[in-house]
Amino acid sequence: MRILVFNAGSSSLKFGVFDIPRGGGLPQMQQCFKGSFDRFGAGGCDYRTDLDGGTVTRAPHTDLASATRAVPDMLERAGITGIEAVGHRIAHGGAEFTAATALSAEVLEKIHALTPLAPLHNPANLKAVEIARDVWPDLPQWAVFDTSFHLTNPARAVTYAVPQHWRDAGLRRFGFHGTSHKYVAQRAAEALGRELRDLRLISLHLGNGASACAVALGESIDSSMGMTPLEGLVMGTRSGDVDPGLFGYLSRQMGLGITEIEDALYRDSGLKGLTGSSDMRDVEDRAAAGDADAQLAINIYAYRARKYIGAYAAAMGGLDALIFTGGIGENSPSMRRRICDGLEFMGLKLDHDRNLAVELGAHAAPQIQAYGTRVNVLVTETAEQLMIAREVAQAIRAPKGEALRIPIAVSARHVHLSRGAVDALFGPGYELTPDKPLRQKGHWAARERVVLHGPKGEIPNVAILGPLRDRTQVEISRTDGFALGIDAPVRQSGALDGTPHIRLIGPAGQYDTNGLIIAARHIHMNSADAQQIGLSDGDTVNVTLTTSGRGLTFGGVLIRVTDNAFTEMHIDTDEANAAGISGAVEGELSGEAVLRST
């Protein structure tokens, strides 16, 4: 399969062609051609392609439309034929678009409606779509959205504390650069030889646009950008975080209108507002020559990034790795050093020589932390086009077979005990009494019960599920957490590092342990059902209710495949109540629902 990818901006166009070898999987996808046009203007633009060995030259193309129409000739001269689909980067997809999406007229209309939320990005993205549909009318056109990766962010991270009718109108945080953050998180896990779902990562995408992303156990849980790409870090021409009260102040004191203020925050702020230049290379050179404004800009830029690292490490309960990417993140050793200095208290320290010797060819992801420090620090080139191609290919290749109907089980609060916990709660050597078998083979509910004790209150008569485990795990609902007075994170079973402590009380004593979680929705699936629907262990899918309930679709449901599992979906009681589930309910899952593999 051969896919052409466009990443269009207001002053640039990047494009590439990617191949999936016959019979090969998505990880084996290779880029077979790449090119870019940069800095459109009256005098033309800079461009580079594989045709001239990547050397930057001048081209007469003055705008995005002209450059896009030049791509077919370049591909022809390079001998690139057999393209089967075109993928496009779309900055803002709102809350609806969770995965690569075929660009129908209806989808394009919805993307157009989101333009006010990304005025620097969506218009250029859509212009490239328009021209590509004209040039390649017979090829399917697909969109991959910057916002999709962040739709796993919890409500507490995306909800603004503003009036309800504002929120009802769509005011919320979305986050951007999702394709970049997703790629570098996966690349870092690969470089570290770890499963992404076991890691707590912070990705810093530092370029003309800049953002930080917290990736916990395989999912984005927070991003520095908000409803629009204005919020967060200092950028080339964008302000990042500001007090929203400045709109009223500037209106009263300077007579500025909303449009004027918003335009200045997008186009005349950030590094440009502080120094007159949006290029960090220029700012660093001027700072080294003694320019006080440039020196202040660099300090502000690094300070803002360092604050987000600390905040996100706290939000995740720790940090395993920090990743630098983007033009500044990849190419400025001094900025990496400024951002990391002072973080030794959390086990993060750079090695001077490794930081200076970064080489990023062939998708390298070198580590630059000091030897013996706890937090890994990596640098890697972002590969948004590669990620777009992967997601388009995955959507095209997804099985289109019949849907699979699965039962949905509501998982009430319960505990899984270790041997040590049983001894403390019921007495040394005590054996739990299996009382009722569960549908998952070999699992059962015990006759015994325990009490959960928190700083606000207690929950009595909590079920114990067997068999025993190596670590005690306590699963509650979000409402239970408020009753106990403890903030339990949403985690997959077994992902217990950094989770809160809870006290269990039994007839023989008490047991204090961490391992308190809200169980993330998941599907236990046997191998035969997984093969039928084209899924693998670790895939994430959507499931739509087909009986009773309120017609709800559950997103981001993890597939856990074992040979003899009873295929069913597990959700907690709060989710069941929100969906109006009572009694037996079925959900419908199809191969087309696959969102991603981690």
* Residues noted as catalytic: 146
CA-to-CA distance for 316 and 338, rounded, in angstroms? 23
DSSP 469: -
Tell me the one-letter amino acid at 27: P
Report, in this order, helix, strand and coil percent for the chain, each rounded to 5.
Answer: 35, 30, 35
8 A C-beta contact, residue 277 and residue 235:
no
Q: What is the CA radius of gyration of the chain?
A: 26
Task: Please give the DSSP secondary-structure letter assigned to residue 63.
Answer: S
DSSP string, 41-61: ETTEEEEEEGGGTT--EEE--
CA angle 32, 35, 41 (to 5 degrees): 170
Any idea what DSSP says for residue 363?
G
In one letter, which amino acid is 380?
Answer: T
Q: Give the per-residue SS3 of 548-575.
A: CCCCCEEEEEEEEEECCCCCEEEEEHHH
Whole-angstrom distance, CA of residue 130 vs CA of residue 133: 5
Exposure b/e, 512-542, CB count within 10 A at least 16 = b: ebbbbbbbbbbbbbbeebbebbbbeebbbbb
Q: Which residue has the tokens 């705008």?
A: 63
> Which residues does residue 141 pair with via DSSP β-bridges, in sequence order?
86
Please, are residues 106 and 27 in contact by the beta-carbon 8 Å criterion?
no
Residue type, position 496, single letter: L
b/e 204-243 (16+ beta carbons within 10 angstroms → b): bbbbbbbbbbbbbbbbbbbbbbbbbbbbbbbbbbbbbeee
- Say which DSSP state 372 is in: T
- Taking each helix axis as running N to C, give the angle between helix 292-316 and helix 333-340, from 0 to 180 degrees, rounded to the nearest 10: 60
Please state whether beta strands 594-597 and 539-545 pair in parallel, antiparallel, or not at all (unpaired): antiparallel
Peptide bond just before 428 cis, omega within 30 deg: no
Residue type present at position 108: L
User: How is residue 159 written in tokens?
Assistant: 């909800």
CA angle 82-84-86, nearest 5°?
120
